[in-house]
Structures are given as structure tokens and as C-alpha cells.
Amino acid sequence: MNSKPEVTISPFLDPGPRTKAHSLAILQLSRDNLLPVYLQPPTGEHDGYAEGAVVNTRYGSFPHSTMLNVPWGSQIRASKVDTGSRGRKRKRDGADDTSREATAAASEKESEGPGAVAVATPTKENGGAPSVKQAVADSSGFIHILPPTPELWTTSLPHRTQVVYTPDYSYILHRIRARPGSTLIEAGAGSGSFSHAAVRAVYNGYPSAGQRKGKVFSFEYHEERYHKMKQEISDHGLDGLIHLTHRDVYNGGFLVDGRSPQADAIFLDLPAPWEALPHLSRRRPPPSLWPSGAPPPGLDDPTKEWISPLHPRKTVHLCTFSPCIEQVTRTVSAMRRLGWVDIDMVEIANRRLHASRDRVGLNLVNFDRGVNNSAKDVEEAVTRLAEIEARFREHAAKARSRAAGAAAAAAGDVDMDSDDENAGEAAANGNAPRPTAEEEEEIKITTNRLPPWMEGRLITRGEPEIKTHTSYLVFAVLPMEWTEEDEAKAAAKYPVGQEQKVIGTIDKAIRKQERREQLQKQQPGSKKARRKERDEKLGEVLG
């Protein structure tokens, strides 16, 4: 029934079941170490690799050919790659950071510090017949390959600016009612972190000619960032869903080709939101409401029609994002004068927690380094101490009996005696020789104890460092304009004077009375409904 021509849907919006060539994938090296890669089809030797394009990480080498057409989420083994002629070319790669792969490499470097390398070779083909060497699995090392989502992209994208992270954007998009079909204005685009989350929220299909669908209108005045972002939108299959404009919005406002985007949701991540706010008015703002006391050039002709970038017949929800309280004060003041209501300022504190086992106990096996071999409770301590005492006594008794026989014995016993002395001391200090690894294994298997990963108390603790402040979020709402003409129409359509009952009261007596009246009125209908219900129950029983 779906007669639409097939469009290539962004892997962010529908990645399909398997990885595809020329499409973005996120390699997960460890939980927080993500690497975005555009998968290349194997077309022959690349940059010295017989296997074609290869991603090198500290977990091993991963030829693209091993990551193509596999189910998303797959665990990928490292490969032994044939570095062949690569040695010399290495340096040049590092210098070239206009290629997308190099950016990927940079992000791995950034997150892992010096020494870590992730190089995927450039994509240009080397002519000649494609002969690709089959990759050979390495004995160790693996990664996982995940479909791109705004969350993964946000933590792996090439940073060009500060970005908005998931804890903030998830809350913002919820509050500004960005939903399938919404039109959202965003400035500035920056690194595109928010844009990706926003487009997912408003997406309700790709528009065909003349069709209006959920869309993000994004603005960025930094030229290089604009071009990078433009490229990304294209690479990510988001053309038609994100419309990026190269513009200084303080002066230029938010119209696109002179026309209104008709936005109903707005997000401003700009140093001076109050400079942009007057543009987001339904009517021409008086000169005094522009920060400089006069409209910017191009908007100063009062005879020209004012075109608002806002949807004329919808409530508009706005959020601004500013790190400093002074910015908030100015922004809020401007919002009030421009007629925004329900102004609300919050900041989001997000914490990540890690669950682990707190393994404390004298008898715990040293498994995976995470053990604290001290007494886990008073009982264990007392038992242990008592054991030591007992051993001491035993030892003393032995020594006494030896001493008794010493007169008759040879002097050779002295050595042994001192050995025992040491053992006693060791025991007293709680430093009894620990079992060897094999012995521990033995203990694990022979005794009926818990496996080491189930020992100890389950605890949660925070990250070693937490973000305590990202930015202040100021929310506001601009209701639609309501003219006297509108009011007259509505009043004619919904005339007053026919009121029958009262709603919304807390008065129970009134409500009861009403319900009684209603029931009387509805008698015939409800009988039918009852019969139906009975029939249905019967049907179920018989079925």
C-alpha cells in the first residue's frame, strides 16, 4: 500500500538489520570509547593494506570487509592485516585531516590519549582490478559494531564546539514538544549534536515535493563549521530533513529564502540569545526591543511586511541554553518584553553510576584483582583471631614437648624449631601463606562456595569525576496571537447561555446529582451496551 518511491532512509532513522557499505557505523571499542566509521566496500588494495580499508585500534586491526553486511551489534574479531608497503605512508595520513576517516582517527586519539591509533585509509580507489585479500582472524581482540543513534553520535562526533549531551537534549526536546511533524529552529548548529537528536524527534517521513513534514531549520555563521555540518547532513542521509543555513542570526534572523519556516519549537545555543529573540516575534517588534535600540539593517523599513519565522496558528515552545547566569538574566528579561510566557529556568544534573561487587573477606579468592582480604564482619574477625590463638597454643605445647625431649635428642632439631616459630608469627600477623593460583582453582571447584563474581556486596558508586554544570536551560512559550476578529468568530461559533451542568467543581453533591440525571437519560443506550457486553463474554466462554 506504500506507493512512495524508495528513498534512502538515514541510518539514524532506520539502519536496517545489517551494516551497509557507504553508511555510517559506530564502532564500540569499550563502553565509552566509540569510533564513527563510514564503511567502505572492498575495492582492492588501499593505502598499502591488501585487505582494503582498515581501522586500526588498540584492540587490533579491523578491515572494513569484516564489518560489512553483518547484523548490527555484531562482535567483530580483530584481523591479522598485511601492512605490506604501509610503513612510509603513515606520517602523511596523520597530517591529512580533511578526510572523514582521519577525523575518526582523531577522535580515537582524543579519547585515548597519545599512543592510541585508529586509522582508516582514504577511500580513493587505486585503479586496477580490485583484488582484495581475505582478512585472517587474529587470535585476540574484538569490538562491537552499532547502528548510529544520536546518543552514540553525540559521544563520538568530531568536536568543533561545545556540544549538547543526552541528559540535556533529552529533557529539552521533551519540554519543547518536539514531536513527529514539528518544525524546529536551531541556532547555532555547532557540531550538530543537538541537530541529530532534534531531527529524530521531529521526523515523520521524508517530504515529497510540496509536502510539509517534520523538519529542522538550523543556522550557523561559522563558515567552516557550516561546511562540515552540511557534509555530515548529506553523509547521514538527512538532506530534506535538516535545512542548514549559513547565517548570522543576530542580524539576519530566521527566514529561509525570505519565507517563514513556520516553526513551533526553537532551540537557541548562542552566546547572546537576546540578540536573536526579537526576530522570533509574531509582529514587528518596536525599535526599543532590539538590543541596539534599532532593528538590524534590512529590517528597518517599517513599510515592508514583517514575516515571522513562527507558525502563525500554533503555540511556540522555546529553549535557550546558556552557561552563565548573566546570560540568563538578560535572556529572561528580553523574553518577558517580547511576550513569552511560562518562563521557567532549570539546570540538569546527570550522574552515571557503576555497579560492582565490594569483595571483602578473609577467605575470598583473589579474582580479577578486586578483593580486600580483611575481615568482612566481627564474627569473621573473632573466628580468625581465635584460630590464631589456638594455633599459638598448639605451637607452644609442641615446643614444650620438644623441649622436654631435647635433652635426649640431637641438636639438629633447632632448624625445624625456628621454622615453626616463623609460621606462628606469620599466623599471628594474619599473613599465612596464601594458596597458589592452582590451589585457588582447586578450592573454587572442590568447595561448594559461590563463584567469585557473586561474592561480596553489590554496590553502586559514581564516576570519579562528575559534570556539575553544563548550562542553564530557559524555557518559554509564545501563545498564538488572538485578534478581536478571531474572538468574534469563536464567540459566534460557541455561543454561551446553554449551560447545563457544572464541571470542574470539587463539590461531590452536584456531581452525584448530575450522574443520576445522566444515567436516566442514557437508559436505552446503556441497555444495549450491557447486552453487547454479555454477548461478548458468552462468545469468549464458548470460543
Ligand X SMILES: C[S@@+](CC[C@H](N)C(=O)[O-])C[C@H]1O[C@@H](n2cnc3c(N)ncnc32)[C@H](O)[C@@H]1O
Which whole-number Å values give the CA distances from 199 to 149, 371, 489, in the listed order?
11, 47, 37
Q: Does 47 bind ligand X (CB under 6 A)?
A: no
* Assigned C-alpha cell, 107: 577522535
Calpha distance 423→486 (Å, rounded): 97
Q: Does 191 bind ligand X (CB under 6 A)?
A: yes
Are 373 and 364 contacting, i.e. CB atoms less than 8 angstroms apart? Answer: yes
Q: How far is the CB of 328 from ligand X (least distance, A)?
A: 16
Are 459 and 356 contacting, i.e. CB atoms less than 8 angstroms apart? Answer: yes
Q: Under rule CB under 8 A, which residues in 107-146 are in contact with other proteins?
A: 139-146
Partner in contact with 274, chosen from ligand X, other proteins, none, beta carbon below 5 to 8 Å by kind: none
Q: How far is the CB of 262 from ligand X (least distance, A)?
A: 20
Q: SS3 of 448, please?
A: coil
From candidates 10, 156, 262, 281, binder to other proteins by CB under 8 A: 262
Contact code string over 9-38 relative to other proteins, x by CB under 8 A: x---xxx-x----------xxxxxx-----
Partner in contact with 493, chosen from other proteins, ligand X, none, beta carbon below 5 to 8 Å by kind: other proteins
HSE of 176, CA atoms in CB hemisphere, 13 A: 33
By CB atoms closer than 10 A (0-12, 13-18, 19+), residue 174 is exposed
Return the number of the residue (333 or 401) whose C-beta is nearest other proteins. 333
Are 132 and 42 contacting, i.e. CB atoms less than 8 angstroms apart? Answer: yes
Q: How far is the CB of 290 from ligand X (least distance, A)?
A: 14
Number of residues engaging ligand X in binding (CB under 6 A):
23
Partner in contact with 502, chosen from other proteins, ligand X, none, beta carbon below 5 to 8 Å by kind: other proteins
Q: Are strands 215-220 and 242-246 parallel, antiparallel or unpaired?
A: parallel
In DSSP terms, 215 is beta-bridged to 183
- 380 CB contacts (<8 Å, ≥6 apart)? 361, 362
From candidates 43, 66, 193, 322, binder to ligand X by CB under 6 A: 193
Partner in contact with 301, chosen from other proteins, ligand X, none, beta carbon below 5 to 8 Å by kind: none
Q: Of how many residues is the chain composed? A: 543
Are 352 and 462 contacting, i.e. CB atoms less than 8 angstroms apart? Answer: yes
Partner in contact with 451, chosen from other proteins, ligand X, none, beta carbon below 5 to 8 Å by kind: other proteins
Q: Does 250 bind ligand X (CB under 6 A)?
A: yes
From candidates 63, 148, 188, 456, binder to ligand X by CB under 6 A: 188
- Residue bearing cell 557507504: 22
Q: Under rule CB under 8 A, which residues in 67-96 are in contact with other proteins?
A: 70-78
Number of residues engaging other proteins in binding (CB under 8 A):
149
Contact code string over 195-234 relative to ligand X, x by CB under 6 A: ------------------------xxxx--x---------
Q: Does 166 bind ligand X (CB under 6 A)?
A: no
Element (H, E) at 273: helix 273-276
Contacting positions for ligand X (CB under 6 A): 161-164, 187-188, 190-194, 219-222, 225, 247-250, 269-271
